[in-house]
């Protein structure tokens, strides 16, 4: 009789858990996956995929406005929010089915129930069944965090509920200044809502390059989005179907929807971590792991947002794959968390990889900056007041490109390709030697010849 019921028990059917389960099963492991909600996790069900679909749809209004400059005369148009939501739901259901099918095809078994650790090798299902496993992988992801409770917080929605609203809000207040807040600000504004963003910091997109932060704010404000920084939501009052949002500055805003997008926390509560001896990282509240995604318990691992390392879907997938390769493929693989490209599907879009100017100046003695800010070719005929930002951060000593930051149409698509070059430690000379592809916005990346700034850090005496 086998010592354990399964070789691997995965808690969580999101991107990281599914990848780990499939790869481990392909290596011949007996695998079980528990998911209490829907297969696909945050990204597929209530994150990147439905968000991107909403973003794409929200661009249409601007495309119609821009069409006039190119000779198109478009008559009266209408938009139906319910149709958007229904079609999105249909696509998400299709993807959920694909995730389920792919896991089952690999030979892994899915149980649609909650799973809790009883000890280092035992998992108890909500059905009452107990399963023993040689290895356990925790991939339960994260959830929206509303922060400190304020009066009226029960009236607030998160990004989860935003995907299922019965109707498009005419006016919405969004608290937050990161990815989710800005992406939904652009989404709602694109569909015609009056949008106000409230953020406690001095400017939006904390942690991004300063030029990116300024540029995105300017462009969003041009599009009619109100951005209020340096204050927070202190209280929300409900009047029938409407709300009054009171700010810490003393002012108030009327709306028919209030959304908080001020961060996410790891899903660690009620998992039985203490019973199994799994430690929490005191610095970030996620499950503490080493470079191999191993927890404080030798046979228990964790990947993805539940570790609160780098909360991006492709990172969770890479971590899950590396775990399966290492433990079941006997091929040790560690994930390199450096130089990870990322995008913000705000409007305008942001794509970035590598170091910001501030980070580079702190780490390198000589830093050269190449930056351009220009009107894209489409705007010359559409008449739209918009500009594109492109920026390269270069080590002035070795000529290596340390970072690339783009704000404008297709920024994410361009950044994915540039990320390969940055990962390969390409130099500015390599960029300069590359023939430009004309007429594109991205040709600016290989035609910027003169530094716009050069920084030399003085050695301490």
* 412 vs 345: CA distance, rounded Å: 8
Count the residues in the chain.
461
Active site residue 438: yes
Residue 28 CB: number of other CB atoms within 10 A? 11
* 94 vs 91: CA distance, rounded Å: 5
State the angle between helix axes of 210-222 and 179-190 in degrees (0 to 180), rounded to the nearest 10. 20
**Positions of E strands within 214-314:** 226-229, 233-239, 242-247, 252-255, 257-260, 264-266, 300-302
Nearest one of 238, 224, 219, 217 to 194, comparing CA atoms: 224
The residue annotated as part of the active site, out of 265, 405, 438, 455, is 438
Q: Please provide the DSSP assignment of 365-412 as one string.
A: SEEEEEEEEE--HHHHHH-----EEEEEEEETTT-BEEEEEEESTTHH
Check residue 280 and report its DSSP letter. B
Contact 353, 342 (CB under 8 A): yes
Check residue 440 and report its DSSP letter. -
Nearest one of 96, 14, 110 to 313, comparing CA atoms: 14
* 153 vs 237: CA distance, rounded Å: 9
* 373 vs 358: CA distance, rounded Å: 19
Active site positions, annotated = 438
């Amino acid at each position: 009789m086998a010592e354990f019921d399964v070789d691997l028990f995965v808690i969580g059917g999101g991107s990281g858990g599914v990848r780990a389960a499939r790869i481990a099963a392909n290596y011949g492991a007996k695998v079980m996956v528990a998911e209490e909600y829907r297969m696909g996790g945050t990204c597929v069900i209530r994150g990147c995929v439905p968000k991107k679909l909403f973003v794409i749809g929200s661009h249409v209004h601007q495309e119609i406005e821009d069409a006039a400059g190119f000779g198109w005369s478009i008559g009266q148009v209408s938009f139906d929010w319910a149709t958007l939501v229904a079609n999105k739901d249909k696509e998400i259901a299709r993807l959920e089915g694909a995730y389920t099918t792919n896991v089952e095809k690999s030979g892994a078994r899915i149980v649609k129930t909650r799973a809790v650790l009883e000890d280092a090798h035992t998992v108890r299902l909500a059905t009452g069944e107990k399963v023993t496993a040689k290895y356990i992988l925790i991939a339960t992801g994260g959830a929206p965090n509303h922060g400190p409770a304020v009066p009226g917080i029960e009236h607030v929605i998160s990004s989860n509920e935003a995907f299922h609203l019965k109707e498009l809000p005419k006016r919405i207040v969004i608290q937050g200044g990161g990815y989710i807040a800005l992406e939904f600000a652009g989404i709602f504004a694109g569909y015609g809502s009056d949008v106000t963003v409230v953020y406690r910091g001095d400017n939006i997109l904390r942690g991004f390059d300063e030029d990116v932060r300024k540029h995105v704010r300017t462009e969003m404000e041009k599009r009619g989005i109100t951005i209020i920084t340096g204050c927070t939501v202190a209280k929300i009052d409900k009047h029938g179907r409407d709300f009054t949002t009171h700010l810490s500055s003393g002012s108030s805003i009327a709306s028919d929807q209030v959304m908080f997008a001020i961060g996410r926390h790891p899903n660690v509560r009620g998992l039985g971590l203490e019973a199994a001896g799994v430690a929490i990282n005191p610095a970030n509240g996620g499950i503490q792991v080493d470079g191999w995604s191993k927890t404080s318990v030798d046979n228990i691992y964790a990947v993805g947002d539940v570790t609160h390392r780098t909360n991006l879907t492709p990172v969770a997938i890479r971590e899950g794959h590396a775990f399966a390769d290492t433990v079941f493929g006997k091929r040790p693989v560690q994930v390199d968390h450096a130089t990870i490209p990322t995008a913000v599907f705000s409007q305008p879009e942001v794509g970035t990889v590598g170091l910001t100017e501030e980070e580079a100046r702190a780490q390198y003695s000589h830093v050269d900056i190449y930056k351009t800010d220009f009107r894209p070719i489409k705007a010359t005929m559409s008449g739209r007041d918009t500009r594109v930002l492109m920026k390269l951060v270069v080590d002035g000593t070795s000529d290596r490109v340390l970072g690339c930051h783009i704000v404008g149409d297709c920024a994410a698509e361009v950044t994915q390709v540039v990320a390969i070059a940055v990962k390969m430690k390409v130099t500015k000379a390599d960029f300069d030697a590359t023939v430009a592809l004309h007429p594109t916005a991205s040709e600016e990346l290989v035609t910027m010849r003169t530094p716009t700034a050069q920084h030399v850090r003085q050695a301490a005496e």
